[in-house]
Amino acid sequence: MRHDESRALYDRALSVIPGGVNSSVRATRPYPFFVERGDGAHVVDADGNRYLDYVMGYGPLLYGHDMPDPVRAAVQSHASEGPMYGAPTEIEVDLAEFVARHVPSVEMIRFVNSGTEATVSAVRLARGYTGRDKIVVMQGGYHGAQESTLVEGSFDNAAPSSPGIPSSFAEHTIPVPFNDAAAAERVFEEHGDEIAAVLTEPILANTGIVHPVDGYHERLRELTESHGALLIFDEVITGFRVGGLQCAQGKFGVTPDVTTFGKIVGGGFPVGAIGGRAEILEQFTPAGDVFQSGTFSGHPVTMAAGYETLRYAAENDVYDHVNRLGERLRAGISDIVADQAPAYTVVGTDSMFKTVFTREAPDVDEGAPTCDAGCTQDESCARYDHCPKTGADVAAAETERWERIFWQEMKDAGIFLTPNQFESQFVSYAHTDADVEETLEAYKEAL
């Protein structure tokens, strides 16, 4: 593969864009390939190399790179009619009604422009609604580039995870390990009447992927309810990806008070949203006093893309297709791992997948039951104790091996995976059974 054009573009970019990229995860080593165009499940780079794409824009592209006809038509017509006004439009009501109809926690929804903006607004809403300041987050969880959640450490020793964030932010944030109900109970015992909300992804999708153990979300639900705090599910990744149109909360049967969305709900255009019970959402201005506003919020092109994307999914076999291929991939990778790298753990659900380069192989007897298409924290599985339960378990994996060796080899084989150990990968409606076979062959070679 030649990369001369990408190399030259990166050279130019380094002079005018910090680190040469507009989002830090894109700065792959030694330099990223620059995409010229998408084509179904593939991307083609500036040198004409073609890659089978499982990054899928980090999640938004449920259909791959070709918009279904109704989505394309709606985007084109809304773009050519405006493209935006600073006054409300019918299409934002259509999308709000659609989400409220399908997602259990959502009676009302406010659209914004990114997942980050959604979680910033959700935290402010929870603080305004409860009159409390503290929020509980999961160690290793990610909620975008916001001050209140870029915090690391433990529950009595939290600190900002980036320069530029005053340590006073961390004083109000309590990080706990995911899947550790006892840790959450302890935090509520000590700080119950100061906690505005627990903010968590239903599945940690930016660190692993880490699936919840049985009963964990139910326990968070009980704790928040009994202490007058809100439960916020950050479904920026899992929304309209896990559990289909009902999202992960529908699949797990746990209804949060507030949900944040992003990615798929904007059909590939910049988006975020905060949904939840009406009495909480109505605290936002102008209905209530918690300030929330945005020039581009509810942008007609985004709203049209999101609405037609979700309608298309409701009317076609989209989730059956992507989930079936996701299962085939995870099952196939599980077999390869069992043969070639038994310490590694295959994770994911629905159309998400990843292989965590865990370090210790379980002593699996011949015939002992294992999860056959990715870890779902099944206690009867022989791998249960080795399946990552927390962000720290994933961070303890062979993260350098993923980034420096495995990812590079897969890229050279024409398979574009997320470049670090932490971010999820996604199957789209454009992927085929033949793509899965090709991917498994590449895994066999690279692992």
Return residues touching ligand PLP (CB under 6 A): 58, 114-116, 119, 142-144, 201, 205-206, 234, 236-237, 262, 272
Name the nearest CA neighbour of 330 among 275, 273, 387. 387
Q: Which among 58, 142, 312, 429 is annotated as catalytic?
A: 142
Contact between 235 and 247 (Cβ < 8 Å): yes
Between the CA of residue 389 and those of 163, 286, 437, 439, what are the distances in Å?
28, 41, 30, 27
Q: Nearer to ligand PLP by C-beta: 45 or 234?
A: 234
In the complex, minimum distance from the CB of residue 69 to ligand PLP, in angstroms, rounded to a whole number: 26
Nearest-angstrom CA–CA distance, 396 and 302: 39
Can you tell me the distance from the alpha carbon of 376 to that of 410, in angstroms, rounded to the nearest whole number? 25
Q: Where are the alpha helices (DSSP H) in 177-244?
A: 181-191, 216-226
142 belongs to the catalytic site:
yes
Shortest gap between Cβ of 55 and ligand PLP (angstroms)? 12
Nearer Cβ to ligand PLP, position 143 or 383?
143
**Identity of the residue, 232 or 346, whose beta carbon is nearer to ligand PLP in the bound complex:** 232
The burial of 342, by beta-carbon neighbours within 10 Å (0-12 exposed, 13-18 middle, 19 or more buried), is given as middle
The least CB distance from residue 298 to ligand PLP, in Å, is 16
Of the pair 201, 435, the CB lying nearest ligand PLP is at 201
From the list 45, 53, 234, 350, the catalytic residue is 234
What is the spatial distance between Cα 143 and Cα 395, in angstroms, rounded to a whole number?
17
Write out the two tokens for 144. 């975008």
Least Å distance, CB 190 to ligand PLP, is 27
Diameter of the chain measured on Cα atoms: 65
**Pick from 312, 304, 318, 349: nearest CA to 331:** 349
Residue 321: what are its φ and ψ, rounded to 5°?
-65, -55
Q: Which is nearer to ligand PLP, 115 or 374 (CB)?
A: 115
The contacts of residue 420 (CB under 8 Å, 6+ apart) are 25, 399, 402, 403, 407
Which of these is catalytic: 263, 354, 389, 411? 263
Closest contact distance (angstroms) between CB of 241 and ligand PLP is 11
Nearer to ligand PLP, 115 or 300 (CB): 115
Give CA–CA dist 167/158, Å, rounded: 9
Residues 419 and 28 sit within 8 Å (Cβ to Cβ): yes
- Helix axes of 300-315 and 318-340: crossing angle, nearest 10 degrees: 80
| Nearest distance in Å: CB 350, ligand PLP | 15
3-state secondary structure of 345: strand
Cβ distance to ligand PLP smaller for residue 116 or 370: 116
Q: Write down the least CB distance from residue 144 to ligand PLP, Å.
A: 3
From 99, 48, 154, 127, select the one nearest 311 (Cα to Cα).
Answer: 99
Q: How far is the CB of 347 from ligand PLP (least distance, A)?
A: 16
| Three-state secondary-structure class, residue 414 | coil
Q: Which is nearer to ligand PLP, 32 or 262 (CB)?
A: 262
Which positions are annotated as active-site residues?
A: 142, 234, 263
